[in-house]
Amino acid sequence: MDLSLLETLRYKIATGKDFAEVFTYFFDHFGDFPAFFEVGAITEDELLVRLLSHVGGALFKTKRVSLTKMRLIEIKEHDFIHGALTINGAVASVIYCTDLRQGILSVYRPNKSPHTDFVRFSAEMLPPNLAGEVSKFKH
């Protein structure tokens, strides 16, 4: 397992068009190696959790989103988080670049065709003056 390949993965997360291929690359080079799960530390990234909740809501077409069984592992020196969870009972995996604030989510639903949905997501932080203006429009 070569952690320098995380740079290639980061590029694929940011620019890839075939998200299934990006996950295949992740599993071929990292996810299928038990030692990889010993690299990094368990984390709770508040922004990532909020993003997953929003993406899950859009994917399931609901405002009621349940994120459970979440286990996120952060490799700080590579600005990278990977992990697994369930979203409204469906098995999901996420790969995410903390510095880019961009990631890809994979959600497996056996009763749906296709069985797996892939979603690239990102967050753009608003400047403080603009963030204050946005709050005026919330109900």
The residues, any chain, with a CB within 8 Å of residue 22's CB and separated by 6 or more, are 9, 12, 13, 16, 95, 104, 118
Round the average pLDDT of the chain to a whole number and report it: 89
pTM of the model: 0.85
Distance CA 124, CA 128 (A): 12
At 32-65, the pLDDT tens digits run 888 888 889 999 999 999 999 999 999 999 989 9
When pLDDT is cut at 50, 70 and 90, the band that residue 131 belongs to is low
Of 41, 122, 39, 48, residue with least CA distance to 85: 48
- Please name the residue ranges forming H helices in 39-137: 46-60, 128-135
What ranges make up the beta strands (E) of 20-115? Answer: 41-43, 67-75, 80-87, 90-97, 102-108
